[in-house]
């Protein structure tokens, strides 16, 4: 399953500009995908992205890990202003990550490093990061229990885990497209959380946890 997912995202990475449009809901094709599959418009796209990254404070100067970074289209504009932070970005697909590396270089972001790796076996010590961010990644990971466990492990006590993920049960149209298209192609991997099951999972792991939804996007904020 990991190989299938890696191939899917290596292919998506080879179509970097198109992937960026789809993930941001911009451009002709991106707008169609956002509206038809996700029932999103530009305002809803911006809202879930805002909620997912809201816990990152202005002027943050600690250690931050993003998994997966993808092409960096959603987060490099944020990192550009975090000049005092120590930022690490990991992705399973080198093809995807190469776009993020180029974007960081073009934006002159110097306080950032990139690492190819598996979220189920992160190459970092326990209690390393002040913030762990995962945007649109948890629904991709084949072994979700391992992913949640590893992301928790590398987060410092008192640190923040935040981001967003697809949740089922909020929009029948989206659920149908995920089941019939995204899953067979390897872009998403079941089982998927509902809003309630995601909240329960996070509350059982973290000191505090909350989940807000924008249609089928579940945006979470947790403190270890």
Q: Which domains does the chain have, with CATH numbers?
A: 2-223 (3.40.50.150)
- Identify the pLDDT of residue 5: 66
Enumerate the β-bridge partners of residue 102.
none
Please give the full DSSP string across 159-178, using - where no structure is assigned. Answer: EEEEEEEE-TTS-HHHHHHI
pTM value is 0.95
Two structure tokens written together for 160: 């923040």
In degrees and rounded to multiples of 5, residue 34 shows phi and psi of: -60, -45
Cβ atoms of 48 and 163 closer than 8 Å: no
| pLDDT per position as a tens digit, 2-55 | 567 667 576 665 666 788 888 888 889 889 999 999 999 999 999 999 999 999
Q: Average pLDDT for consecutive 10-residue bins of the chain (224 residues)?
A: 65 70 88 93 95 97 97 96 98 92 96 96 98 96 96 98 98 97 93 98 98 98 98
- Identify the pLDDT of residue 127: 98
Quick one: which of 142, 140, 136 has its CA closest to 52? 136
Enumerate the β-bridge partners of residue 116.
91
Block residue for tokens 């924008």 = 214
Task: State how far the Cα of 83 lies from the Cα of 85, in Å rounded to an integer.
Answer: 6
- Identify the pLDDT of residue 184: 93
SS3 183: helix
Task: State how far the Cα of 157 lies from the Cα of 123, in Å rounded to an integer.
Answer: 19
- Identify the pLDDT of residue 22: 86
Cβ atoms of 5 and 184 closer than 8 Å: no
Enumerate the β-bridge partners of residue 63.
86
Two structure tokens written together for 13: 């990475």
- Identify the pLDDT of residue 14: 67
């Amino acid at each position: 399953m990991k190989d299938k997912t890696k191939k899917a995202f290596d292919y998506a990475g080879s179509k970097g500009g198109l992937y960026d449009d789809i993930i941001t809901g911009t451009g002709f094709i991106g707008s169609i995908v956002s509206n038809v599959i996700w029932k999103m418009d530009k305002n809803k796209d911006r809202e879930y992205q805002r909620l997912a990254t809201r816990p990152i404070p202005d002027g943050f100067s600690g250690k931050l890990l993003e998994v997966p970074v993808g092409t960096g289209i959603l987060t490099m504009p944020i990192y550009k202003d975090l000049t005092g932070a120590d930022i690490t970005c990991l992705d399973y697909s080198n093809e995807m990550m190469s776009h993020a590396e180029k974007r960081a270089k073009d934006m002159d972001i110097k306080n950032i490093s990139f690492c190819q790796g598996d979220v189920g076996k992160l190459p970092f010590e326990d209690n390393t990061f002040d913030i762990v961010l995962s945007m649109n990644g948890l629904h991709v990971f084949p072994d979700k229990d391992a992913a949640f466990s590893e992301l928790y492990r590398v987060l410092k006590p008192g640190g923040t885990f935040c981001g967003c993920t697809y949740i089922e049960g909020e929009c029948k149209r989206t659920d149908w497209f995920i089941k019939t298209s995204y899953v067979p192609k390897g872009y998403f991997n079941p089982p998927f959380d509902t809003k309630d099951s995601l909240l329960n999972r996070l509350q059982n792991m973290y000191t505090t946890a909350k989940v807000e939804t924008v249609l089928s996007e579940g945006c979470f904020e947790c403190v270890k």
